[in-house]
Amino acid sequence: MRTWGGRFEAGPDPAAADFTRSLEIDIELALDDIAGSIAHAHGLGRAGLLSDAEVETLTGGLEGLRGAVVDGTIDWDPTLEDVHMNLEAALEARVGPVARKLHTGRSRNDQVATDLRLWARRTIDALDDAAVGLERALVDLALRHPEAVMPGHTHVQPAQPVLVAHHLLAYVEMLERDRARLADARRRANVSPLGAGAIAGAGFPLDREATAAELGFEGLTRNSIDASGDRDFVVETLAAVAIAMAHLSRLAEELVWWSSPRFGFVRLADAFSTGSSMLPNKRNPDVAELVRGRAAGVIGRLTAALAMVKGLPLGYQRDLQEDKAPLFEAARTLRTSLEVLAGAVASLTVHEARMRAAAEEGHTTAVAVADALVERGVAFRAAHHVAGRLVRAAEAAAVELASLDDGAFAAALAESDDPVASELAADPAIGATLRAAATVEGALARCDVVGGTAPDRVHAELARAARRLGLG
């Protein structure tokens, strides 16, 4: 099959042919290409460019090719540069010269743009399913430990006690935004460029609306130049994938730290841990580390796609052949990362006692003490200073805030230049009040706002997430 056309007297140099071939990558579009070709054949029939018999012959041959692709029996010819030429040649081998009519009114430019949008649509659907799978694992883990407490951190320093469920639900929120970004990318990708031709539009009266409807597109591209020569839907999908991978990398980072004996918060199941080739004692969180590492690769692929399109003049350019490898690999990485993290989270062992002990370290209830003083009329800045002096006293005594005696509370208040605080120093009940505020339970209960870590709030959010995900 002469793929270089009548314009040329000879074929390409072997090195040039190898350099331009993309079959190994765009073979992933085979089923999408067949779907687009079937719809295009129907469109040619509607336009009177094919007889009913020819349409039936072509669609029957294409359906046979679909089966061969699915069961792996199709023979791919590496001398044909891409999946489109391979399928065209395979179709001609099945149905004869009528196959040569299929490309009427179509360019590989709008053909591949159609294929890639179909691929993006079904791939985003699969990514959404995988994201829901990880959400379910996180929510299920939270449901198994609804009262567990851990230290919330800022600046990697203990800040305030939070429920473990509250922490896990933060990742659910991230994943929900990731799903929304992917859905937005899918919506903008879900318009049909078929009929745009090479650049100016098809030269025949094709019913683009009917073809788009057959392929399940929600609309049509409105400019033929833009339709075949732009890939912002690829970049947008990559951006959504990269942000999602950044979120997964944060979760992976925490699993790495938490599973270290220095933290001892969790234990990864054997199935999601590896040993060392030298050190018999090691239990390595390699799965989480690889998610973290592969996030960097996905971010790089987004950067590559942006750099590829930033200087292209209008109209299709062969540079755009390079859009597929980063998109395919990034989507594959996100899907497998979501799946493996879902398995790791689902099988995670949580050490509640160790988490609770860590939540009680670092004077994480200090702001609750300051808030309790504010309730008694002390200005917040003055209350902040009093709480800071109490932390200093607790550190000197090597105890936590809730273990300070009444004298320590009275002394810190007496030092304040706030008149209300000074008066409270003489209140015999103030020590008990502040001591109660300094407990983990007191600190948790105080954060009783929508989105806060108060147990009732978290349990309500957990129940809402569980209902949405069909759990419990």
Is the same domain home to 70 and 118? no
Report if residue 292 sits inside a domain: yes
Q: Is the pLDDT of residue 2 over 60?
A: no
Spell out where 272-389 has E strands.
349-350
Q: Given 326, 354, 382, which residue is the final one in a domain?
A: 354
Report if residue 264 sits inside a domain: yes
Nearest to residue 471, comparing CAs of 178, 132, 176, 174? 132
pLDDT per position as a tens digit, 406-453: 999 999 999 999 999 999 999 999 999 999 999 999 999 999 999 999
Report if residue 2 sits inside a domain: no
Report if residue 217 sits inside a domain: no
Amino acid at residue number 8 = F
Q: Which residues pair with 161 in a beta bridge?
A: 151
Is the same domain home to 87 and 126? no
pLDDT per position as a tens digit, 7-63: 777 778 888 888 888 889 999 999 999 999 999 999 999 999 999 999 999 999 999
Q: Which residues pair with 151 in a beta bridge?
A: 161
Q: Given 292, 324, 354, which residue is the final one in a domain?
A: 354
What pLDDT does 418 receive?
Answer: 93
**Domain carrying residue 163:** 109-204+223-354
What pLDDT does 17 receive?
Answer: 81
Provide the mean pLDDT of the chain.
Answer: 95
Is the same domain home to 253 and 163? yes
Is the same domain home to 187 and 166? yes
What pLDDT does 8 receive?
Answer: 73
What pLDDT does 280 receive?
Answer: 84
Is the same domain home to 151 and 256? yes
Report if residue 209 sits inside a domain: no
What pLDDT does 1 receive?
Answer: 43
Is the same domain home to 331 and 376? no
Residue showing tokens 């105890």? 399
Is the same domain home to 95 and 115? no
How far apart CA 325 and CA 457 sit, in angstroms, is 45
Angle at 220 between CA 214 and CA 223, to 5 degrees: 145
pLDDT per position as a tens digit, 83-95: 999 999 999 999 9
Is the same domain home to 430 and 445? yes
- Report whether 376 contacts 388 (CB < 8 A): no
Report if residue 413 sits inside a domain: yes
For the CA atoms of 450, 456, 460, 461, the dihedral, rounded to the nearest 10 degrees, stands at: 50
Is the same domain home to 407 and 274? no
CATH of the domain at 167: 1.20.200.10
Average pLDDT over residues 264-279: 92
Q: Is the pLDDT of residue 129 over 70?
A: yes
- Report whether 410 contacts 367 (CB < 8 A): no
Which of 114-123, 156-165, 312-321, 359-368 has the least mean pLDDT?
A: 312-321
pLDDT per position as a tens digit, 330-352: 999 999 999 999 999 999 999 99
- Report whether 359 contacts 151 (CB < 8 A): yes
Rounded to a whole number of angstroms, the distance between the first and last alpha carbons of the chain is 60
What pLDDT does 10 receive?
Answer: 74
Which of the pair, 249 or 20, is modelled with greater confidence? 249
Report if residue 170 sits inside a domain: yes
CATH of the domain at 65: 1.10.275.10
DSSP state of 283: -
Q: Given 332, 354, 376, which residue is the final one in a domain?
A: 354
How far apart CA 212 and CA 189 sit, in angstroms, is 13
Domain tally, the chain:
3
Structure tokens at 374: 């504010």
Q: Strands 219-220 and 191-192, how do they pair?
A: parallel
How far apart CA 404 and CA 438 sit, in angstroms, is 10
- Report whether 42 contacts 215 (CB < 8 A): no
Catalytic residues: 155, 276
- Report whether 443 contacts 368 (CB < 8 A): yes
Is the same domain home to 82 and 165? no
What pLDDT does 4 receive?
Answer: 55
Q: Strands 349-350 and 266-267, how do they pair?
A: antiparallel
Report if residue 49 sits inside a domain: yes
Is the same domain home to 342 and 395? no
Is the same domain home to 405 and 460? yes
